[in-house]
Amino acid sequence: MDPGLGRVVRPAMNDDQLLRYSRHILLDEVGIEGQQRLLASHALVIGAGGLGSPVALYLGTAGVGRITIVDHDTVDLTNLQRQIAHDLSRVGRPKVASAAQAIAAINPDVEVVALQERADAARLAELVAGADVAIDCSDNFQTRQAVNAACVHHRKPLVSGAAIAFDAQVSVFDSRVVNAPCYACLFPPDHPAEEARCATMGVWAPLVGIVGSLQAAEALKLLAGVGTSLAGRLQMLDARTMSWTEIRATRDPGCPVCAAAHR
C-alpha cells in the first residue's frame, strides 16, 4: 500500500499522551473521544510553504495520527520570512522533509509521510481517497481545482486557504453538507483567476500564519467532530485594516464539478 494512503489504527492513550493532550481533553466538546478521533485520523496537506507550515505544525501538536505532506519544492532563504516550519539550517532541503523534522521535534508520536513531488490530478485523487480531510495550502489555481475535484469525487472535506500581499481568504468545501458549494462553484475552472505569486506581489509575513492557523482549526474541528465548519461560508481578510468579510454561498446546480455528483 502507498505510504500516503490508509487509515490509522491507534490503541488507547498512554499516560504521556493523556498529559500531552490534557488541554484538549479538558474541553467538553473534545474530551477523550475527540482526542482519540484525532489520533486515529489521516490529514493530507498539499503544500509546505507559508500556509502549509502552520497547518502541519498545528496538526502535529494536536496529535493527528498521520499527516501526509505533498510539495515538490526545496527551502529557500526567501521562504524564511514567513514559512515557520523551516529554518536556516534546512535551506536547500526538501520542504516536506523540513516540515516533517519540525513536527517530529514537537511531537515524535505523529507519523509524517513526506512526499516530495508535484502531484497531478490523478495522484491527488489517489491521495485524497486515503485521507479523512484535505487541506489545500497550494499557491496555484490548477492544483486547487484538482484537489477540489478529488474531494468531490471521494466525498472528503476540503479546507481551502489563500493569501497574497495583505489579502486572504479561507473556507471549507464539504460535499457531505446539504447545499454546500464546492470550490468550483465559487471559482469556476473555466474562468481562472490571474495568478498572483509571492515572488512578484509580496506577502505580509503574519498573514499566512493567520490563515494557516484557521485552516488547521477547521481541519481539527472536522476530524474531532467539533462545532460547525465554514462550509457554505467564504471568509475574506484585509490585513491592512484587520477587517473580515463573510460571503455565504450555496451549491451551483450548474457546477461542472459537483453538479453530477449530487444528481
CA distance 149 to 232: 17
Lay out the sheet containing 243-248: strands in order across.
111-115, 66-70, 42-46, 133-136, 158-164, 167-173, 233-238, 243-248
C-alpha cell belonging to residue 7: 487509515
Cell triple for 148:
477540489
Give 12's contacts (C-beta < 8 A, 6+ positions apart): 36
The residues assigned a catalytic role are 198
With a CB cutoff of 8 Å and minimum separation 6, the contacts of 122 are none
Buried residues in 207-230 as b, exposed as e (16+ CB within 10 A): bbbbbbbbbbbbbbbbbbebeebb
Q: Specify the amino acid at residue 42.
A: H
The counts of H helices and E strands in the chain are 10, 8
**Residue 105 CB-density burial (10 A; 0-12 exposed, 13-18 middle, 19+ buried):** exposed
Contact present, 96 and 48 (Cβ < 8 Å) = yes
Longest dimension (CA), the chain: 53
Task: Name the strand (E) or helix (H) holding 33.
Answer: helix 31-39
